[in-house]
Structure 1
């Protein structure tokens, strides 16, 4: 797949841009908007930008305005703009005859003067506007009241259906009221267009499907009866208007006539109904740019379907990728590519593609390898059950290791962009809130909840922590066989070794080796900033001793 050049020819037709994390999706949308306007390809009022969520819409609006402002100001001095190597888009816009550069600046100025009229909206907001513009061509009640949530209506429908079906029936109900309420909420919930399974009516599964279908159908009838619409109604009403056998073609022309350029951000989370609207209204009629990353599709629970992205890519006239990562440094990009490069994630067309790094050197120094894979052995963590240790102890050990790694990072010699690494530079990603709380509590006991080593002496002890600051590093790494470090692209093998940092001495006792190569400390020598769980719990790194005898 070829790399997309934001300074190359402007996209036409339907273009799908695959944009991995950090490759500048929002930057690209803002830059293309500035170019379409400045080069006279479209007025700002003829460009529609669609994104996911109100917060993302506000951010995109701010970024587009900033891009237009910087371009207009830069073109006031074309000579300086042509040599500004920090802004390739501005250089491109300034590289024209003086008369054309002046026209480009005037177009940008007019766009900024009427910026409030720009269509930068969510998919649902766009559908609402189009329904209002279609008027009688859409089967929409202009007096209908919008509601964000119809759970009260669903509960009312379930109550009525349950009583109507089972009250006075000779046989006991095949499902409880709570079960029917759960089925109804799922059927009318975030993915209302989904087909209900099983398709057959046999047995209890078939009866449950019919019950869910009855709730869905009755909820839709009552919404129309009382004049209510929600987000999904906007989608389905516009889709039905565009697909109408008699008036659909005219409705599509009317919608497409409003915009010469349509760009959709986070397209990987588009559901089939949203894509059908975009396909019918804009595909083959106007310039349609779809930007997303199928590897980041996360909204299947609300109908977002990554196969929709793949279907759109198959229909696109042009498919390209954003090939430069502007967020991460080259050593980390190379290490990640060594692990994931070329991997197909659930589909042969969803592939981790190589990207270049805008930052050739690592801005983080003194912190070891850019990517480290850490592994816990199954043994050394208490009694095994069917060859597997208790997951609670493993999670404790992982939390302790993460906390120790962060403490070593913050209290060592690591620097980022020439300054000492600060707690705000560190992020810990976990799967669940419980795991996040465990790591946070462990860091709190290490005294690293809110202060750096320099502030430790003047900071009061944390309210529910053990320490008053970030303690100095000790030998905290997992021992032999426990730390797999990715060395470089040229070495595909991983090596395991304990940390080379010396263990600190204790005023009342000496350090003892635990299973797994960790360092255990007698209770009297247990620092107030200990990174382990409270006493009376077993040592997570595998010691047979109780915490009343030793901490880890």
Structure 2
């Protein structure tokens, strides 16, 4: 593609008259109604092309934008349908214009036809093809899985990092390690360079993010096989000579001092060089480059340092040092060439290997959706025709954020006939870090059938629109890159409330530029930013104070804190503004595009988890405890590190360190046995992390970030268990920032001043905007790496390039091109920031000192926009104008709505009193009654326990969150509910199940025990007990905890050997005739709970405390166990209730009381109906009287062969409901009458 070609002239779009064919590009400047025009195009395509809602493809790039477009288009269609039915346009200019054009006398449609098409679209709008780019690709691939070689069923993964790393580790093991074994010097080089599977993974990740970028290897050469040996030989020769001649060399150089340059080779420098050589040879690493200080003693360095007319000192070692420097450089070049050869092989094979591994595992990532559709379209031309027939028209929103792969997909499907509308604003292309490529937009414009602009700004006041026009038209090449121009816009006719500022101290425009002091008063960069933040805070305080007094208003409404935004570029800048606002008593909230992994708390989390992984490593532990999460001071950490000579204090500190080791060891055990979530909850609760952080000014922000990080880490730990993989993942996320789910979340929804990153502000608007840091002129150089890496840039044709093995000239060209592109994006960020304001904008400009110079500030993009006219950007970067010229350029802007004044310095800080953040305090009205949903998912637990909870004022747990009942009601039962009176208090033995812990957790554990136990295999019971304790842990005293497994195994033995009913013992049960935890779900469309109560009482069951309301929904549950004995089916339910310590405590009378107190008979009847329905549908010839035996409720603490009460086995409640009752319940559940 060629972005350098001259763009065709752009026409102002008349959305109601433009042709609906071909490929059309629409440049929608900020605030010009992009979504409004997309809706208009959608309506015209629907009406004029007679397309259905599922035939017009609308694509945008985020789920939120998709939802907004969906609602806006649906609303527009509904509004138009009403207008066609009533003949009233409602005063809406969109409807009025459409009625005048498309539906007017000269239009192609009559109103009746149009109304039919609109109503048809509304009826089918749930099938509207409005998607994110990934959702569209997924749908397209699902419709043609063979063409895409896609599995029919697959798992979507947002991140394929784990698979990539796995592949990188395999390549490292099979390719890199053998080469390192062959070349020991290469192995050393890899270690010194920090190479590893992670480096391979990073290379592949970048390649996959830019799959169409050209790979250039023209600077890569074959490694010199002899270089390593030559360097070792040269090192050995130099070391021998140094050992023999060091003293002579020292004496020679002392004698030569008069002829040597006294800056570079003064006596101290020479002494340092001698020491450096000695240390270098002592180290014995032939592959290591000689220290910089040592290189002063090469022949070339000494010749350069010799004064004119003097004799250069001569010694053979100086020649050998020259040779050694060259030999080590050659060996280094050979190692770099070996690495680049491996990288070339890796990038050639890894994408295919990764795709194959994903196919094998039936896994697909979001990026795969794009790549697979791209390759399918190019391999199968018919697929493009199929998709074009499926979607005859397409509208692509936010097209400036596309990348070459995405555009290639749409171009393949829709070009050249269309209609395809590419809508976006290249001046707002600010997402290069997501692989968005502005050059793609420029290339698409060159090949478009027609190019349009939107030139009416409906967002901002005329003053702000005029100011922005003047600002961005000061420099014809404001946006640096060729082909990207600024078109003047005009203010629209939008009616808005006037902005009234009755406390404004002096005349100034609505676009206010504050200039930092220059000359002798120039501030350091950090001080300049602090002063800018203070000035903004003081002005915000003035506005808020005036709003409270009614002097600062939007129409009749006082200006609120949420109407004000402070735009920043980084999270660090946002934190500075938040702290400064807090000192003025101004509440604020941060909205950032930044990743939560870029925060300081992410770094602290990594240190803490590393310490939990290795609690015995005191270095890791101390690094973790240095976090302010723990509240330890520097003195305590220092004493833990060093000791201070005080034996008693050292002993105490040592004990304290050991307590931390023990604590972190426990957290590690929790993580390994119960998972990250349980460990994290325990860690934060015990150490009171949230409470400590909330005491700070940014407490809400930090607690939000920590909870967000924990949530993401838990998701990862669930997907790939293990501490080590989680730590690797966290380190990788901190490097690349994670995906959309890692974006910083809103820490508060209160009406506060908005601190917003420029990236996050895109698409938003604020009444008043402050831009304190846009004068930052720092441009990032490519990150330094010990490993040879590719240079990223766009060539002269606008194509993306990854250039490996650049020589110095090519590297310099690539670096300069990267700086141009970075500066161009910075200019677009300035545009986005300044166009957010509706009424007023404050901009800080001016110089600051960085590295004792104002050069960085003077060459800022902000200055380029104002003063760069007539210069090339490269010349600007090399030598920006001086302060006087820049100041004159800024002053030239000062007229009309633009004012330029010195940055105000507040005389004193006047904190806002409490209450200034809100006009009044609001309180919710107290609810006096409980509201229940009629339709719900119900179970035995919710039908009984939820009623008691509601009456007690406790929130009801939704039934879809309930687990199997498992005695959960024990946690909310009234005191004494499970106690049966024992005539004589008996203390059970220490190993008896009667001393097993009580409560809901214990019930869960014992249920799990019976689920895991194989009743006919006694040897398995101990392992089942261990498994149950692992899966469902219980709290117990240490001395009791050691006895629990044996106690539980004995319980199983007692229960299975007991004759529960005549002729039936679980020990004799065929395992094939046992079913555990059978779940059921059946509809109850209109179950009258009062009628249910009356039915139970009529059949001799105790009354149940149910409401007289109606249940409409479903009943769900889990039956602990179903067994078949002698052709009849029993329901078995395990009850862990502690009723006493004697057989009579578990006798028939006591069990009747327990069953009644907790409505277990209702549970049993629900289970009976469920099994009755199940058998009726599955068992041929089923008859209730023949096949249903009844239910057994086993209160297992009392079930044992030797215990009987009243002639019956203790702990066993057996009953068979009458058939008439079961049939009546069955009819009642179906909505009939009993």
Aligned to 2:149: 139
Task: Quote the Cα distance in structure 2 between the aligned partners of 1:517 and 1:401.
Answer: 6
Could you list the structure 1 runs, at least 4 aligned residues long, displaced by more than 6 angstroms after superposition: 481-490, 492-495
Q: Residue 407 of structure 2 is aligned with which of 271, 275, 278?
A: 275
Task: Quote the Cα distance in structure 1 between the aligned partners of 2:433 and 2:561.
Answer: 34
Compute the displacement of 1:60 (Å): 1.1
Aligned to 1:395: 529
Task: Tell me the alpha carbon deviations over residues 31-70 of structure 1, each in whole angstroms, 9 at most, x when there is no partner.
Answer: 2112222345422222110111222111111111111111
Q: 1:231 to 1:425 in 2, by over 3 A?
A: same
Q: Is the 8 A contact 1:65 1:112 kept in 2?
A: yes
Task: Tell me the alpha carbon deviations over residues 305-363 of structure 1, each in whole angstroms, 9 at most, x when there is no partner.
Answer: 11111111111111100111111111101001111025441323211111111148983
The answer on 1:54 being equivalent to 2:73 is: no
Aligned to 2:432: 300
Aligned to 1:166: 177
Q: 1:235 to 1:527 in 2, by over 3 A?
A: closer
Q: Residue 86 of structure 2 is aligned with which of 69, 77, 82?
A: 77
Compute the displacement of 1:142 (Å): 2.5
Q: 1:32 to 1:238 in 2, by over 3 A?
A: same
Compute the displacement of 1:188 (Å): 2.5
Of 486-495 and 309-318, the range deviating more from structure 2: 486-495
Q: Is the 8 A contact 1:410 1:423 kept in 2?
A: yes
- Aligned pair count? 480
Q: 1:129 to 1:493 in 2, by over 3 A?
A: closer
Task: Quote the Cα distance in structure 2 between the aligned partners of 1:236 and 1:192.
Answer: 11
Q: Is the 8 A contact 1:180 1:212 kept in 2?
A: no
Superposition pairs for residues 397-412 of structure 1, below 5 Å?
Answer: 397-412=531-546
The answer on 1:518 being equivalent to 2:658 is: no
Q: Residue 346 of structure 1 is aligned with which of 474, 480, 497?
A: 480
Q: 1:217 to 1:251 in 2, by over 3 A?
A: closer
The answer on 1:449 being equivalent to 2:568 is: no
Compute the displacement of 1:493 (Å): 12
Q: Determine helix, strand or coil for the equivalent of 1:95.
A: coil
Task: Quote the Cα distance in structure 1 between the aligned partners of 2:421 and 2:156.
Answer: 30
The answer on 1:201 being equivalent to 2:220 is: yes
Could you say which structure has the greater relative contact order, defined with CA pairs below 8 angstroms and 6 or more residues apart?
1
Q: 1:432 to 1:73 in 2, by over 3 A?
A: same
Task: Quote the Cα distance in structure 1 between the aligned partners of 2:446 and 2:905.
Answer: 53
Q: 1:478 to 1:285 in 2, by over 3 A?
A: closer
Of 366-375 and 194-203, the range deviating more from structure 2: 194-203
Q: Determine helix, strand or coil for the equivalent of 1:162.
A: helix
Aligned to 1:533: none
Q: Is the 8 A contact 1:364 1:415 kept in 2?
A: yes
Q: Is the 8 A contact 2:26 2:451 kept in 1?
A: yes
Task: Quote the Cα distance in structure 2 between the aligned partners of 1:401 and 1:179.
Answer: 48
Superposition pairs for residues 461-476 of structure 1, below 5 Å?
Answer: none
Q: Residue 32 of structure 1 is aligned with which of 41, 57, 66?
A: 41
The answer on 1:42 being equivalent to 2:182 is: no
Task: Quote the Cα distance in structure 2 between the aligned partners of 1:394 and 1:344.
Answer: 25
Structure 2 gaps, min length 5: 1-9, 222-332, 590-693, 698-751, 754-841, 848-886, 914-1234
Aligned to 2:159: 149
Q: Residue 363 of structure 2 is aligned with which of 220, 228, 248?
A: 228
Q: Is the 8 A contact 1:369 1:485 kept in 2?
A: no
Aligned to 2:123: 113
Q: Determine helix, strand or coil for the equivalent of 2:151.
A: coil
Task: Quote the Cα distance in structure 2 between the aligned partners of 1:217 and 1:478.
Answer: 50
Of 231-240 and 118-127, the range deviating more from structure 2: 231-240
TM-score (norm 1): 0.77
Aligned to 1:336: 468
Superposition pairs for residues 369-518 of structure 1, below 5 Å?
Answer: 369-378=509-518, 389-412=523-546, 413-449=551-587, 491=895, 497=901, 518=905
Task: Quote the Cα distance in structure 1 between the aligned partners of 2:588 and 2:438.
Answer: 40
Task: Tell me the alpha carbon deviations over residues 191-223 of structure 1, each in whole angstroms, 9 at most, x when there is no partner.
Answer: 140344555433426246336515445433422
The answer on 1:191 being equivalent to 2:209 is: yes
Task: Tell me the alpha carbon deviations over residues 162-181 of structure 1, each in whole angstroms, 9 at most, x when there is no partner.
Answer: 23322644424343566541
Task: Quote the Cα distance in structure 2 between the aligned partners of 1:58 and 1:91.
Answer: 27
Q: Is the 8 A contact 1:369 1:487 kept in 2?
A: no
Q: 1:528 to 1:369 in 2, by over 3 A?
A: closer
Compute the displacement of 1:134 (Å): 2.5
Task: Quote the Cα distance in structure 1 between the aligned partners of 2:537 and 2:911.
Answer: 15
Q: Is the 8 A contact 2:21 2:419 kept in 1?
A: yes
Aligned to 1:11: 20
Q: Is the 8 A contact 2:509 2:897 kept in 1?
A: no
Q: Determine helix, strand or coil for the equivalent of 2:421.
A: strand
Aligned to 2:198: 181
Task: Quote the Cα distance in structure 1 between the aligned partners of 2:897 and 2:93.
Answer: 40
Superposition pairs for residues 238-249 of structure 1, below 5 Å?
Answer: 238-244=373-379, 247-248=380-381
Q: Residue 210 of structure 1 is aligned with which of 344, 351, 372?
A: 344
Structure 1 gaps, min length 5: 382-387, 452-461, 471-476, 499-515, 531-552
Q: Is the 8 A contact 2:467 2:897 kept in 1?
A: no
Task: Quote the Cα distance in structure 2 between the aligned partners of 1:251 and 1:330.
Answer: 49
Q: Is the 8 A contact 1:334 1:489 kept in 2?
A: no
Q: Determine helix, strand or coil for the equivalent of 1:17.
A: strand
Of 281-290 and 205-214, the range deviating more from structure 2: 205-214
Aligned to 1:260: 392
Task: Quote the Cα distance in structure 1 between the aligned partners of 2:361 and 2:37.
Answer: 44
- Provide the aligned C-alpha RMSD in A: 3.6
Q: Is the 8 A contact 2:512 2:843 kept in 1?
A: no
Q: Residue 313 of structure 1 is aligned with which of 445, 470, 481?
A: 445
Q: Is the 8 A contact 2:150 2:359 kept in 1?
A: no
Bigger Rg, structure 1 or 2: 2
Q: 1:527 to 1:52 in 2, by over 3 A?
A: closer
Q: Is the 8 A contact 2:168 2:198 kept in 1?
A: yes
Task: Quote the Cα distance in structure 2 between the aligned partners of 1:285 and 1:109.
Answer: 28
Task: Quote the Cα distance in structure 2 between the aligned partners of 1:186 and 1:43.
Answer: 45
Q: Is the 8 A contact 1:198 1:209 kept in 2?
A: no
Q: Determine helix, strand or coil for the equivalent of 1:429.
A: strand
Q: 1:494 to 1:188 in 2, by over 3 A?
A: closer
Compute the displacement of 1:84 (Å): 4.9
